[in-house]
């Protein structure tokens, strides 16, 4: 592939492994790279690898990586020619795309109008319908009342999903199983959508009980070419976040595979798409339905690269420079099978997946044929509580799915990460599970059906077994060789900490989440970790049960419901939404 020589210098408006990925791709192509960084990331790997670096003062995402004004200031000071947004943060921001274009620079992504159309799930559904892409039955536009939900249920049946129009990751989403739940579900989804996305708009879709999540990778240039690079199966999820991805999906027929490719290409062409993008579908009984389109590079893009041999970041740079794609549809061949495992700084013990920020004392990736490790960290780096906990992506390629699973099991054994707990045990448990190896899983399998409790049981250390001093409500735990003081969790919390059972969610519930973290028997609910208060449901004077959620603590981009731990009346609520808390801080007091 010839170098996109139009670009002399590219600013990477991101952090972590994706920033490292783009910096390395630029170096391969002879393009200088510019990193931006928060105060917490001043010494991060992407900063060390880039040719230049500019500070974004502050630590919170809002002040730094989500701050269009600060990104544009760095762009002007660096005199870079283009901005690559990576994924997450501002990657699907029309504000950034428009600001870069107004400045006479190049946004390495689709046009702002294509981002806008596909950024709203309502307008995306309308675009898909116009392009002839199959849709799950849904509302024609946003809804504002339970009455509209009940009318939809009469036409299409239950269960129904109330979903945020401008959201994702399961936030702003509620499942309605009968008409009596409709009013509360709409109100709750609207509140959450407003809180997380700044838009209260919600719409309806018929809820599929046991689907597969299959997506098609497309790439398009400014010369009218749109090419499908095959599909990925992203069905293994928890909290509506992907854990393991693979390519290709092996449970759909050739006819369905071809129809999905054609639908994705048609949709991209219909909205004038340019660059790399992903069209996501739900598949049930070999029928597929449009879910959404992600107008950016996906976290799981490496599995597509390994089975097709196409460098997606290089194609993005090429297309943005005005060059035609280096690959035609007839050139695309999917060879073998690839698996990607997201290695996150989370402790999966008990099915909780608690964030574990900290300093990495060892990072030793596995080696060997067909193995790739994309990471934003090295030993000595610190995983910050301010951002998501993705340490890296472990990707393997082999001649078929069984061989890829065997290789994945081998490389997980060899992977060494110390200093923080990781999701490695969860990956190992999934890869050994007969439902996964038999390719019979569905999107909620990991949280509702999988029996992973023995594999994810926390290890007991001598420090954990030591007696507590009188009056001390903390305990010592050891994670990957490091000691931490944490709030003591009373015995009755064991029930709250149990992994989800193999039963459907209760009527009227929202999306399944990992079990909540519990307060103690003394009625003082303390913060189990450092983070930000995302929601407060407790009110002074209200009566709560021990299992009631009193607030939601967000750490490393993950929601952690905190339950009361004791039945009684709320006498104090010491936190508000947006407040930062440290381990042991009092959140709520119950008498």
Same domain? For 126 and 254 the reply is yes
Is the pLDDT assigned to residue 201 strictly greater than 90? yes
CATH number where 494 lies: 2.40.50.100
Identify the CA nearest to 391 among candidates 428, 416, 410: 416
What are the backbone angles phi and psi of residue 123, rounded to the nearest 5°?
-70, -30
At residue 104 the predicted structure's pLDDT band, cuts being 50, 70 and 90, is very high
User: Chain centroid to CA 445: how far?
Assistant: 17
Q: In residues, how long is the chain?
A: 591
Tokens 């599909």 belong to residue: 231
CATH number where 263 lies: 3.30.470.20
Residues 193/164, Cβ–Cβ less than 8 Å: yes
CATH number where 13 lies: 3.40.50.20
Among the ranges given (3-12, 52-61, 300-309), the one the predictor scored with the smallest mean pLDDT: 3-12
Q: What is the mean pLDDT of residues 358-376?
A: 97
Same domain? For 38 and 82 the reply is yes
At residue 457 the predicted structure's pLDDT band, cuts being 50, 70 and 90, is low
Is the pLDDT assigned to residue 379 strictly greater than 60? yes
Is the pLDDT assigned to residue 216 strictly greater than 70? yes
pTM of the shown model: 0.78
Among the ranges given (78-82, 144-148, 557-561), the one the predictor scored with the smallest mean pLDDT: 557-561
CA angle 129, 172, 569 (to 5 degrees): 160
Same domain? For 44 and 176 the reply is no
* Amino acid 196: pLDDT: 72
Structural domains counted in the chain: 6
* Amino acid 238: pLDDT: 79
Instruction: Report the C-alpha gap between 115 and 121 in whole angstroms.
Output: 11
Same domain? For 532 and 520 the reply is yes
Is the pLDDT assigned to residue 168 strictly greater than 80? no
Is the pLDDT assigned to residue 466 strictly greater than 50? no
Same domain? For 217 and 328 the reply is yes
Is the pLDDT assigned to residue 459 strictly greater than 60? no
Final residue belonging to a domain, choices 294, 310, 333: 333
Same domain? For 312 and 401 the reply is no
Same domain? For 388 and 498 the reply is no
Whether 240 is covered by a domain: the verdict is: no
Whether 243 is covered by a domain: the verdict is: no
Say how many Å lie between the first and final Cα of the chain, rounded. 68
Query: Encoding tokens for residue 371?
Result: 């193995």
Average pLDDT, the chain: 86
Whether 374 is covered by a domain: the verdict is: yes
Same domain? For 502 and 480 the reply is no
Instruction: Report the C-alpha gap between 519 and 560 in whole angstroms.
Output: 13
Tokens 């996150």 belong to residue: 344
pLDDT digits 0-9 by tens, 502-518: 333 323 333 333 345 66
pLDDT digits 0-9 by tens, 311-353: 999 999 999 999 999 999 999 999 999 999 999 999 988 777 8
Identify the CA nearest to 119 among candidates 16, 255, 312, 271: 271
* Amino acid 195: pLDDT: 74
What are the backbone angles phi and psi of residue 395, rounded to the nearest 5°?
-125, 135
Same domain? For 363 and 476 the reply is no
* Amino acid 422: pLDDT: 96
Cβ atoms < 10 Å from Cβ of 126: 15
Instruction: Report the C-alpha gap between 264 and 261 in whole angstroms.
Output: 5
Residues 488/553, Cβ–Cβ less than 8 Å: no
Same domain? For 562 and 430 the reply is no
HSE at residue 252, side-chain half, CA atoms within 13 A, is 28
Q: Is 589 helix (H, G, I), strand (E, B) or coil?
A: strand
Same domain? For 125 and 177 the reply is no
Whether 242 is covered by a domain: the verdict is: no
Instruction: Report the C-alpha gap between 171 and 162 in whole angstroms.
Output: 11
CATH number where 150 lies: 3.30.1490.20
Whether 2 is covered by a domain: the verdict is: no
* Amino acid 579: pLDDT: 83
Is the pLDDT assigned to residue 36 strictly greater than 90? yes
In which domain, by residue range, is 38 found? 9-108
Same domain? For 202 and 214 the reply is no
Bigger pLDDT: 136 vs 335 = 335
Final residue belonging to a domain, choices 108, 126, 152: 108
Q: How far is CA 320 from CA 106, 107, 245, 392, in A?
A: 7, 7, 27, 27
Is the pLDDT assigned to residue 562 strictly greater than 70? yes
Whether 540 is covered by a domain: the verdict is: yes
| Local structure of residue 179 (DSSP, 8 states) | G
Whether 239 is covered by a domain: the verdict is: no
Final residue belonging to a domain, choices 293, 318, 333: 333
* Amino acid 35: pLDDT: 98
Could you tell me the sign of the dihedral formed by the alpha carbons of 549, 554, 557, 560, in that order? Answer: negative
Tokens 């200093």 belong to residue: 419
């Amino acid at each position: 592939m010839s170098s996109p020589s139009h670009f002399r210098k590219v600013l990477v408006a991101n952090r972590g492994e994706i920033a490292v990925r783009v910096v390395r791709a630029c170096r391969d192509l002879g393009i200088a790279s510019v990193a931006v960084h928060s105060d917490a990331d001043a010494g991060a790997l992407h900063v060390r690898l880039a040719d230049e670096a500019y500070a974004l003062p502050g630590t919170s995402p809002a002040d730094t990586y989500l701050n269009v004004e600060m990104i544009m200031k760095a762009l002007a000071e660096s005199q870079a020619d283009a901005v690559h947004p990576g994924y997450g943060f501002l990657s699907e921001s029309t504000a950034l795309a428009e600001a870069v274009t107004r400045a006479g620079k190049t946004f390495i992504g689709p046009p702002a109008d294509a981002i806008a159309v596909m950024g709203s799930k309502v307008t995306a559904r309308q675009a898909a319908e116009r392009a002839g892409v199959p849709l799950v039955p849904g509302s024609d536009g946003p809804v504002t009342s339970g009455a509209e939900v009940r009318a939809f249920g009469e036409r299409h049946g239950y269960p129904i999903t109330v979903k945020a129009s401008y959201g994702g990751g399961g936030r702003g989403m509620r499942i309605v199983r009968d008409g009596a739940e409709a009013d509360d579900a709409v109100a709750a989804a609207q509140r959450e959508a407003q809180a997380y996305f700044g838009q209260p708009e919600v719409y309806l879709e018929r809820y599929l009980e046991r689907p597969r999540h299959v997506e098609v990778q497309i790439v398009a240039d400014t010369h009218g070419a749109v090419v499908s690079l095959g599909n990925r199966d992203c069905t293994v999820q928890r909290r509506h976040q992907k854990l393991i991805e693979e390519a290709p999906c092996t449970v759909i027929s050739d006819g369905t595979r071809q129809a999905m490719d054609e639908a994705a290409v048609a949709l991209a062409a219909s909205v004038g798409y340019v660059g790399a993008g992903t069209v996501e579908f739900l598949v049930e009984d070999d029928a597929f339905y449009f879910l959404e389109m992600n107008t950016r590079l996906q976290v799981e893009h490496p599995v597509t690269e390994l089975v097709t041999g196409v460098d997606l970041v290089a194609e993005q740079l090429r297309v943005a420079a005005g060059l035609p794609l280096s690959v035609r549809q007839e050139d695309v061949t999917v060879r073998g099978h690839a698996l990607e495992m997201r290695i996150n700084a989370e402790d999966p013990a008990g099915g909780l997946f608690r964030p574990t920020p900290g300093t990495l004392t060892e990072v030793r990736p596995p080696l060997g044929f067909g193995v790739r490790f994309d990471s934003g960290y090295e030993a000595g780096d610190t995983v910050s509580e301010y951002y998501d906990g993705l340490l890296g992506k472990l990707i393997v390629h082999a001649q078929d799915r069984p061989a890829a699973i065997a290789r994945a099991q081998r490389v997980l054994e060899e992977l060494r990460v110390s200093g923080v707990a990781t999701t490695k045990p969860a990956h190992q448990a999934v890869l050994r599970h007969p439902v996964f190896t038999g390719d019979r899983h569905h999107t909620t399998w990991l949280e509702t059906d999988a029996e992973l409790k023995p594999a994810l049981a926390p290890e007991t250390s001598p420090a954990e077994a030591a007696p507590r001093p009188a009056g001390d409500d903390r305990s010592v735990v050891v994670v990957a060789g490091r000691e931490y003081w944490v709030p003591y969790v009373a015995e009755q919390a064991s029930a709250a900490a149990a992994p989800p059972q193999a039963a459907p969610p209760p009527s009227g519930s929202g999306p399944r989440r990992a079990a909540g973290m519990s307060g103690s028997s003394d009625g003082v609910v303390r913060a189990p970790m450092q983070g930000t208060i995302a929601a407060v449901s407790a009110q002074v004077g209200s009566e709560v049960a021990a299992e009631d959620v009193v607030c939601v603590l967000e750490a490393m981009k993950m929601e952690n419901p905190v339950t009361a731990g004791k039945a009684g009346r709320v006498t104090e609520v010491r936190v508000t939404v947006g407040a930062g808390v440290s381990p042991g801080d009092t959140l709520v007091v119950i008498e």
